[in-house]
Chains A and B, each alone.
Chain A
Amino acid sequence: MSFLATARKYRPQSFEELVGQEHVVRALRNAITTGRVGHAYLFSGTRGVGKTTVARIFAKALNCEKGPTPTPCQECASCKEITAGNAIDVKEIDGASNRGIDAIRSLRETITYPPARDRFKIYIIDEVHMLTQEAFNALLKTLEEPPPYVKFIFATTEPQKVPETIMSRVQRFDFTRLSVGQIVEQLQQITRDQSVEATDEALRLIALQAEGSMRDAESLMDQVISFAGASFTEQQVGEVLRVADRSYYINLFGALLHENAATAMRVFNKAKGHGISPRSFVKGFATFLSQALSLLLLPDEPDSGVAFSDVQKRSILAKGAGRTAQVLLLLDIFVEAADKAVSSSYPDLVVLAAVARASLLGSLADIDTIIHKLQGLESRPVMSLSDRSQPEPVTGNTSTTGNSSPPTGRPHQAQATTRPAPDKGLRLQQHNVVSHIVSTLDAQVIRVETEGD
């Protein structure tokens, strides 16, 4: 098989080739040059940001014939063997497959022998969070005071599952997500190297989809190249990766804000017809809504519209003008739907139900005036109530509000009166009222209790 996935082919082999994680690289380099290398490290961070890669480079740096050096030679037997993955003194262990106490016991037996050829005996334990409790405990003593020639490097995506007792015995480095810019740069380098032609926007769309993971970005690009060939544009990326472009979302946004349920549903059907999965569609729309909301709230802030082109911005501003509260509700609904769609057996149904619910909000389009009226009704009784409550604390019967649950009603109103600044208070209240209406709609859902059959 001649083809090697990009993420494997372009796995960095030296600190210089590595993209991002400068804080980690600097610390490790300094540790080597000043001769203060610890005996146990833990690398944590999301998938595909370079944990295993850095572990291997660090092993090389420590065991290089000309080392320890921050710039391993890549030519000596040790460097070459680590690159090939068969170095005799560097053991890479899959913590998820060898997770029991027996695996750790046999590891401890090998530790007692000094390295066969190289300077250090290095144990890289990947996915270390999957070790069992017993295995972790069996490791504690060794980890605290290993022989001088032993180094441990742990890598994990879930540091919270690693016990405190382990944590306190290692130096921990958190790997960060990569920025879109960093990913684009790396992709550019790869495209140049493979003589692939891609527009800047195309690579940007790939980088956005990767959500900070270089491996994701590289496998997505593999996918695009294998379908579109050696030159591709943004539109082709959208088609291959099956992500909806902005025009779908702007249409859906407009339809939902203007009570056009039928149109809204057609937008979804069309996207599905183009092979976009309901899950990616609804997730994309939730992201779109949050970006649109920040644009509506702060139209003049340069940062709030970066996701859109000028034409798109104008269109969003025109459609959403004076409907910020409604957009907020849409966001609520679709964030929930995006979340549900991940694990639901019925992703189609999740999206359609969200669209239908959102279209019901159309009847609340006049929300601003309702709220103004409420505001007017509220202000007087609230004043008298707070006046009264000062001399005689709580006992007063609040018959004026006619509410069956005065204790919950009061803090709301008190809040409104103590904060006369209309803007923020109003918005907060607006949200309260509106979410109350939504929860009334939700109240129709019956909760089914488990019952023995």
Chain B
Amino acid sequence: MLSKVKGHSGIKRLLINLVENERLGHAYLFAGPEGVGKAFTALQFFTFLSCPNARDGEPCGQCHVCQTMANLEFPDLHILGPGILPGHEHQRTIKIQEIRELGEFINYPPMQGPYKMVLINDAHLMTTEAANALLKVLEEPPSATLFILVSALDGRLPITIRSRCTGVWFGALEPGEIAQVLQEQGVSPDRAGMLGRVAGGSVRVALQLSEPEAWAFRQEALGHLLQGIHAQGLQRYAAARQLIEAVPKKWKNLLYTLLEYFAIDLLKVSMDPDARVVNEDFLDQIRQAASTERAVAFARGLLDLDRKQVYNVSLRAAMEGLLLGANR
């Protein structure tokens, strides 16, 4: 079933069952952590639905439909949001104009396949106006329309949108599943296995870490974090500064992921020294650093940063605050 999607076997079974039992609805919300394959699963499912030769839950992969789907050029497919179509990488919001254009798209019956399909990636980026403009069509679209909304921050979607969709929750991937994906991308088995374990269940993070520059940054960043959390007085500022200087601009997002995993590891180890951690290669140092008070303070500092919209806070102030807070 949808064999290109790794893991998520329960979800794949659910989707295929929906089709086979003729119970496919018209709006689904794929929610779950970043980089676990939500949008990819949606696209594979769309391909399966449209492919005229699909059998046993698999699209054929050969026909014209499968190929145009793979190139994202299929006429019955409409994609909104960043991260999938080229040129949309830095899209920060999904605007009402795009939703209006979407209305035009679905008003015509499908041209090649059985469905008009809409994928809204990072649906939480819809502005309030856009989300409200989607409500009516999301509830009662023309027949043969299928919406899949994808979001890692589905809590930020208005309840009126969530209430109109059937929710599908994607969990983190297993290390082995991530390793499989990496191997298919040409990473050696040993390295793929190791990256799979330190990626915290996210293929995207694993792929980032497979680049040598990112990996070096990870090692350095974790080192500074551990050092900073132990340090006293002015040394904390020094650790924070070194940490910031180590961040390549390209990997700013990765820093926040690393901070999250580090905070989770601290918390886990502080509660149970034998807990399974993400940064297993730093386990001993994490054990030394982890007191519950320190871990809680670090975690709350990070959550506070998140609430204040990390991207608008000066990185340096953020890191100093974090390390200082954890150190009181």
Interface residue ranges, A against B (CB under 8 Å): 1-3, 5, 8, 46-48, 85, 94, 96-97, 99, 126-127, 130, 157, 213, 215-216, 219, 222-223, 225-227, 229, 242, 261-262, 264-266, 272, 275-277, 279-280, 340-350, 352-353, 355-357, 359-360, 441-453
CA–CA, A448 to B33, complex, Å? 26
Q: In the complex the two chains form, what is the Cα distance from A144 to B11 in whole Å?
A: 53
- Knowing A343-B153, A442-B300, say if A99 contacts B129 (CB, 8 Å): yes
Q: In the complex, are the beta carbons of B133 and A450 less than 8 A apart?
A: no
Asked if A353 and B303 sit within 8 Å, CB to CB, the answer is: yes
Give B96's nearest chain A residue, CB to CB: A97
| Other-chain residue from B100, B152, B169, B260 in contact with A275 (beta carbon distance below 8 A) | B169
Q: Are A356 and B166 touching (Cβ within 8 A)?
A: no
Q: In the complex, A157 Cα to B158 Cα: how many Å?
A: 11
In the bound complex, residues from chain A placing their C-beta under 8 Å from that of B68 are none
In the bound complex, CA of A94 to CA of B160 (Å): 14
**Which residues of the other chain, B, contact A347 by a CB distance below 8 angstroms?**
155
Let me know if A359 and B17 touch, CB within 8 A.
no
Interface centre among A85, A130, A444 (most CB of B within 10 A): A444
Q: Enumerate chain B residues within 8 angstroms of A130, measured Cβ to Cβ.
A: 129, 132-133
Give the interface segment out of B21-29, B72-80, B211-219, B224-232: B21-29
Candidates B159, B270, B304; contact of A447 at CB < 8 Å: B304
Contact of A261 with B22 in the complex, beta carbons under 8 Å: no
Selected from B24, B140, B167, B297, the residue in CB contact (under 8 A) with A444 is: B297
Query: Which of B135, B159, B260, B318 is close to A346, meaning CB atoms less than 8 Å apart?
Result: B260
Residues of B within 8 A of A272 (CB): 171-172
Q: Determine if B263 is an interface residue (Cβ-Cβ < 8 Å).
A: yes
Question: Can you list 27 contacts pairing A with B, beta carbon distance less than 8 Å?
Answer: A1-B114, A5-B26, A47-B160, A96-B135, A99-B133, A213-B163, A216-B163, A222-B23, A222-B25, A227-B17, A275-B171, A345-B260, A345-B306, A352-B268, A352-B299, A353-B295, A353-B296, A441-B293, A441-B296, A444-B293, A444-B326, A444-B328, A445-B297, A448-B305, A450-B308, A450-B314, A453-B315
Say yes or no: A356-B136 contact (C-beta < 8 A), given A222-B23, A226-B14, A344-B307.
no
Closest to A46 in B: B159
Are B304 and A448 in contact, with the CB atoms below 8 A?
yes
Given the interface pairs A1-B144, A444-B325, the reply to whether A47 lies near B163 with Cβ below 8 Å is yes
Closest to A6 in B: B25
Is B66 located at the chain interface by the 8 A CB criterion?
Answer: no
**Chain B, range 117-144, C-beta contacts under 8 Å to A:** 129, 132-137, 139-140, 143-144
- A99 to chain B: closest residue by CB: B129
B312 proximity list for chain A (CB < 8 A):
450
- Across the interface, which residues of A come within 8 angstroms of B143, CB to CB? 1
Chain B, residues 1-42, CB within 8 Å of chain A (1/0): the string is 000000000100010011001111110000111000000000
Tell me if A219 and B166 are in contact (CB < 8 A).
yes
Q: Quick check: B24 and A1 within 8 Å, CB to CB?
A: yes
Question: B292 at the A/B interface (Cβ < 8 Å)?
Answer: yes
Q: Give the docked Cα–Cα distance between A96 and B33 (Å).
A: 30
> Given the known A-B contacts A215-B164, A226-B23, A265-B271, are A127 and B132 also in contact in the complex, defined by CB atoms under 8 Å?
yes
Measured between C-beta atoms, what is the minimum distance from A59 to chain B in Å?
A: 16
- Mark B residues whose CB is within 8 Å of A: 10, 14, 17-18, 21-26, 31-33, 96, 99-100, 103, 114-115, 129, 132-137, 139-140, 143-144, 152-153, 155-156, 159-160, 163-167, 169, 171-172, 256, 260, 263-264, 267-268, 270-272, 275, 292-293, 295-297, 299-308, 312-318, 321-322, 324-326, 328
Enumerate chain B residues within 8 angstroms of A226, measured Cβ to Cβ.
14, 17-18, 21, 23, 25
Contacts of B103 in A (CB 8 A): 97
Q: Are A222 and B268 in contact (CB under 8 A)?
A: no
Complex: A8 Cα to B136 Cα, angstroms: 12
Chain A residues with Cβ below 8 Å from B267 are 349, 352-353, 355-356
CB of A8 to closest CB in B, whole Å: 6
Q: By the criterion CB–CB under 8 Å, are B325 and A223 in contact?
A: no
6 extra A-B contacts, CB within 8 A, seeds A449-B317, A451-B313: A343-B155, A353-B303, A446-B321, A446-B324, A451-B314, A453-B315
Residues of B within 8 A of A441 (CB): 293, 296
The docked-state distance in angstroms from the alpha carbon of A447 to that of B156 is 24
Contact of A261 among B96, B99, B272, B308 (CB under 8 A): B272
A356→B155 contact, CB < 8 A? no
**Within 8 Å CB of A348, what residues of B?**
33, 260, 264
| B264 and A448 contacting across the interface, CB-CB below 8 Å | no
Give B103 Cβ to nearest chain A Cβ, in Å.
7
Q: Given A262-B271, A356-B296, are A277 and B32 also a contact pair (CB < 8 Å)?
A: yes
Using Cβ atoms and an 8 Å threshold, which residues of chain A touch B304? 445, 447-448
Q: Are A343 and B156 in touch, CB under 8 angstroms? A: yes
CA A452 to CA B315, docked complex, whole Å:
10
User: Which residue of chain B has the shortest Cβ distance to A279 in the bound complex?
Assistant: B155
Residue of B10, B100, B300, B315 contacting most chain A CB atoms (<10 Å): B300
Q: Evaluate contact between B263 and A349: CB separation under 8 angstroms.
A: yes
Which A-chain residue is minimally distant from B115 (CB atoms)?
Answer: A1
Known: A130-B129, A262-B271. A48 touches B163 (CB 8 A): yes
If A3-B23, A222-B23, A450-B313 touch, whether A340 touches B303 (CB-CB below 8 Å) is yes
A346 touches B302 (CB 8 A): yes
Known: A360-B292, A448-B308. A345 touches B153 (CB 8 A): yes
Provide the residues of chain B in CB contact with A264, threshold 8 Å.
271
Closest 5 CB pairs of A and B: A446-B325, A96-B132, A262-B272, A448-B321, A261-B271
Question: Which residues does chain B contribute within 8 Å of A345, judged by CB atoms?
Answer: 152-153, 256, 260, 306
Query: Inside 8 A of A341's CB, which chain B residues have their CB?
Result: 155
Distance between Cα atoms of A82 and B156 in the complex (Å): 35
User: A97 touching B133 by the CB < 8 A rule?
Assistant: yes
Q: In the complex, what's the smallest C-beta–C-beta distance from A230 to chain B, in angstroms?
A: 9
A126 to B134, CA, bound (A): 12
A96-B315 contact given A345-B306, A349-B264, CB 8 Å threshold:
no
What is the distance, in angstroms, from A256's C-beta to the closest C-beta of chain B?
A: 11
B135, A448: Cβ atoms closer than 8 Å? no
- For A357, list chain B residues within 8 Å (CB): 296
The answer to whether A265 touches B275 (Cβ under 8 A) is: yes
Q: How distant is the Cα of A452 from the Cα of B316 in the complex, in angstroms?
A: 10
Q: How far is the CA of A357 from the CA of B152 in the complex (A)?
A: 25
Shortest distance between the CB of B237 and any CB in chain A (Å): 13
Which residues on the A side are within 8 Å of B275 (C-beta)? 262, 265
* Pair B160/A277 contact, Cβ less than 8 Å: no
- The CA-CA distance from A403 to B185 in the complex, in Å, is 66
A348 to B32, CA, bound (A): 11
Chain A residues whose C-beta falls within 8 Å of the C-beta of B322 in the assembled complex = 446, 448
The answer on a CB contact under 8 Å between A126 and B136 is: yes
Per the bound structure, the CA–CA distance linking A226 and B17 in Å amounts to 7
With beta carbons under 8 angstroms apart, the residue of B25, B270, B318 that contacts A3 is B25
